Every structure is written in structure tokens, then in C-alpha cells.
Structure 1
């Protein structure tokens, strides 16, 4: 059965809230599949007059989704916070959302909904980050192009009013390129540089722009390199301490989840419970154990992790997928066996 707009809004909003502690209407439109990330990026770069022009549904559906988001956010007790949206262009012009340009519509799009569980410090950081002027973006093009200013070309371009400019015409040719890869060096160079820009390149396989590096002032890069060399040993020690602390936190979460699985499903073998917990709680895995619900040990989240393990280890689900059976159909075919294992474990038997 197809999901309603309200259900899809709630699902997209919940994911955004778990990802970064707040929900923005733009995030929801992307999460619902109505706004492609590439079109969103073009809009952020000032290459689209207004956002609704590239949303792939009519204004009626957009309005329904916006009302549903407002209701959902209020039901969840989220707190509204109006945010500035500026283009990633030299003039940092204010971005427009709606076809009409109505102040009330624009305000509705700009409103972010913040989790009430955020500490005051985290809330301030989230609001500051959301309102901060966006990075100036320079593109490493895939195709041949011609500068609209001088008729030349080059390895990099800046889009301005949907027209490409070379680095000279964009007054960025004095900057030095620093490839991505060294986080500390990049951070310090950008902080020391009066003018900087992020360099991106479009990935055809992933259908999105990906960061390649930054452009910074040459002296800023020299100073940043010296600074990094001076405290390299201290940063190595700090990184080791941070990694150890994260391992302890992850281990503690896995232990709590193991105990909760054993409590809910006493028939689950202890080694199996520990394996499920370690798998689903792995950092950066994107699995249910890393969601807010998983870290709170909500029963539904814990049981979803167990179901996923049963599906892969105790049924022929993976073989069905390999033979081309659609995922939903494969899940339906193994549902009875999954439910049988769950029922035995709930009763306290692993046989």
C-alpha cells in the first residue's frame, strides 16, 4: 500500500531529526524524493530563480506536505527557529523559495524545527551553523566550457547568475588550491584566509557534487602548514585519546543493547545477542543501533535489529536477493520463518 503524504513527511522528518538534531523543509522535500539533491545544489549556488521551480510535484502537494510537517513538528514538541538562506555566490544574495515570493511562504520554508532535547550549547551551535553564510563554491567541470566574462576557460569555474566565470574574471585567481585529505590543515588554512572557496566536482555515479579541496590565500596555507608541524605530536596523542574514548562509548552501548536483547528475547543465545548488538551499534554503520531510538534502547529499534539478523542468518533471504527477487517480496517470503524464530526466542527457547 502506498504511503500517504503525511506518512512520507513524518518518515523524512524523523530521519533529518536523527541526522542533525533539526528538521528543515528542504530536507523533507529531498527525503521524500520530490527534490533531487543536484537541483537543490543548483538552487543553493544561485542558479535557480526559486526552489519550487525544481520541486517535482505541483504546488498543491507541496502545500499539503508543508502543513503536514508543521503538524508533525508540533506533535513532537519541536521548537521553531527561523534561519537565513544565502546563495553560495560572491554577493551572498538571499535565496528565494516560493513561486509567489509571499513573505509568509518564505518564512515557512526558512523555519527549522529543533529537537527540545538539545542542550542550550548544542542548540546555539545548530542555529549558528544553519545561519552561517554558506561556503563560496567553485566547480571543477566535467565538460568543456567558456567563460562569459573573457571567453577563456580553465580547470575551475564559478557560477554566477547561471553563467560560468573563470578564476581571473571571478577575482579568485590569486588563491592556492589545497586538496582534501588533511582536516587540520584545511581547517587552519581556511580560518587564516580572508577569502576562501570550496572546490567541488560532480560525480556521475552518485549524482551529486563532491568536495575536492579548497582555495585559500597562499600565506594562509604557509602559516597553517607551520602550525600543523608545530603541534603534530600533540594532535596525534589527542586523536588517540579520542579514539579510545569512542571505543569505550561504543562498547558500553553494545553491552547495554546485548542485555536488552537478552531481556526481551531470553531464548536468544548469548553469543548471538552480543553479535547482533555489536553489528547494529557499530559507529558510522547507519544501522538502527546508531539512531536515536537505538541508543535509547527503544523496544521497536532493538527488535528491528534482531529481525534483520534473523533475516540474513536464519533464512534464505540473501539468496533470494541474489536471484533478483525484489526486496519487499523477499522479505514477505521469509516473514513466517523470521516470526517463528522471534517467537521461540520470546518464549525462552532457541530451538
Structure 2
């Protein structure tokens, strides 16, 4: 029988109440529900009392402990900078964690080898993607300085950076995404944007100041 999963939100709202005990749930405390917009319970009224938090990071332990636990509580915390919820681990039964740990110890060597091979494949694909992104930049901006397209692509496509080159549209080489990557590069290398920023000027104001310079360089590189 498949394990039943349930979301556990570390609340970002201050007006949530438990539907079982009617107590107010403090900011940052556990709220068990489909979402913060649905009714739910506090942790004390949930079925997860006595469960153990398994931190994220070990895919095999996460998968196997969930498989061996009666219930699985996915702990989610709001990331204010990224404006989204992110996993902070899962609550599972202690016996499930122990069973998963023993299972992982038995096949650690084979999983390490498999992961190493997979990492090499990902690295190769990433290099190919950056190279093709650079070619797309050169195709759209044929007069940009020699080899500059590679500097732009490497920066825009840096892993885990959240930059434009890592978006789904960029991976389809959407012209708008290419334009954004090139504009960002020009902003920091061809204008005094960074100098103004260091002086404490507001970002919105600086962007307005350098807009005409950016457009001028874009036009020159695109001709």
C-alpha cells in the first residue's frame, strides 16, 4: 500500500487556526493542510506527533524512508526572496528511517557509482547547453565582441543561480530570454550601473538611467 503524503507548512500567515482545537497557529509553526488557503490542523492535533524529521539531501534515504512509513509529512517553508515554498525535509516514522538506513548501507557502493556516471552525463549536457546558448546569442547579436557570447552564456546559465539562462524558456532558446541575458551583461560591463549601485542609488532609478546606453549597445551588436 502506498504511503499517504501530507503537506506540513511552516506558516507565513498569522491568522491560521486549527480546525480541531481552534487554537491560533503562531507564525512559523507547523500547519497541516493541502495549502495555507485550506483548513487544517496544528501539529499537536495531527497524526505526525512522534514522527521524526529527516532532513533533505539524501535522495535514497528520502525515498526509502517514505516507502516504509505509514504516513509522510512533507515540511515546507516559505522562501521570501524566491517567493515560493521549499522543502525542509519530511516527517516519517523512526523505524522507517532505520530500515531505510540499513538498506542504503547495503547498496551504497553501487549507488555511488551510478550517481558518479549520472553526474558526468549531466556535466556534459550542461556544457553542450551553454555552448548552444552562446551560439544562439551570436546568431541574434552577430556584432557582439569576439567570444563575448561565451562569457554571457556561462554567467546566465550558471547552475542554481536562478538567472535567466536557467529558465524553461531559455532552454528553448527563446529570443526574449537571450535578449534578457545580453541586456544584463551589457548593464554590468558596458555602463556605470555597478558604480551607481555602490553609491547607494536605487536599482529602479539606475536602470532607468542606463536604459538608453543599453539600447545603444544592443543596436550596435545586432546590426
**What TM-score comes out, normalization by structure 2 length?**
0.73
Correspondence for 2:15:
none
Tell me, yes or no, if the aligned pair for 1:258 and 1:273 is still in contact at 8 Å.
yes
Correspondence for 1:164:
42
Choose the corresponding residue for 2:158, options 266, 277, 282: 282
| Deviation for aligned residue 1:320 | 1.9
Aligned pairs, number: 202
Per-residue displacement from partner, 1:93-141 (whole Å, max 9, x unpaired)? xxxxxxxxxxxxxxxxxxxxxxxxxxxxxxxxxxxxxxx975242769x
**Pairwise CA RMSD:** 3.3
| Deviation for aligned residue 1:299 | 2.6
Correspondence for 1:19:
none
Q: Which has the higher contact order (CA 8 A, sep 6+)?
A: 2
Correspondence for 1:179:
55
- Structure 1 residue ranges without an equivalent (≥5): 1-131, 141-146, 150-155
Counterpart Cα distance in 1 of 2:30 and 2:221: 60
Tell me, yes or no, if the aligned pair for 1:139 and 1:157 is still in contact at 8 Å.
yes
Correspondence for 2:26:
none
Tell me, yes or no, if the aligned pair for 2:65 and 2:99 is still in contact at 8 Å.
yes
Tell me, yes or no, if the aligned pair for 2:4 and 2:71 is still in contact at 8 Å.
no
- Structure 2 residue ranges without an equivalent (≥5): 12-19, 23-28, 34-38
Correspondence for 1:319:
195
Going from structure 1 to structure 2, the CA distance change for 1:277 and 1:181 (only over 3 Å counts) comes to: closer
| Deviation for aligned residue 1:163 | 5.8
Matches within 5 A, 1:85-234: 135-137=6-8, 148=21, 164=42, 166=44, 170-199=46-75, 211-234=87-110
Tell me, yes or no, if the aligned pair for 2:5 and 2:73 is still in contact at 8 Å.
no
Counterpart Cα distance in 2 of 1:268 and 1:205: 33
Going from structure 1 to structure 2, the CA distance change for 1:269 and 1:136 (only over 3 Å counts) comes to: closer
Going from structure 1 to structure 2, the CA distance change for 1:248 and 1:320 (only over 3 Å counts) comes to: same
| Residue 246 (structure 1) aligned with residue 122 (structure 2) | yes
Correspondence for 2:184:
308
| Deviation for aligned residue 1:317 | 0.8
Counterpart Cα distance in 1 of 2:106 and 2:215: 59
Correspondence for 2:17:
none
Matches within 5 A, 1:21-32: none
Counterpart Cα distance in 1 of 2:195 and 2:82: 27
| Residue 256 (structure 1) aligned with residue 132 (structure 2) | yes
Correspondence for 2:221:
345
| Deviation for aligned residue 1:188 | 0.7
**What TM-score comes out, normalization by structure 1 length?**
0.49
Going from structure 1 to structure 2, the CA distance change for 1:217 and 1:312 (only over 3 Å counts) comes to: same
Counterpart Cα distance in 2 of 1:205 and 1:298: 25
Going from structure 1 to structure 2, the CA distance change for 1:251 and 1:203 (only over 3 Å counts) comes to: closer
Going from structure 1 to structure 2, the CA distance change for 1:185 and 1:256 (only over 3 Å counts) comes to: same
Choose the corresponding residue for 1:333, options 192, 195, 209: 209
Going from structure 1 to structure 2, the CA distance change for 1:304 and 1:170 (only over 3 Å counts) comes to: closer
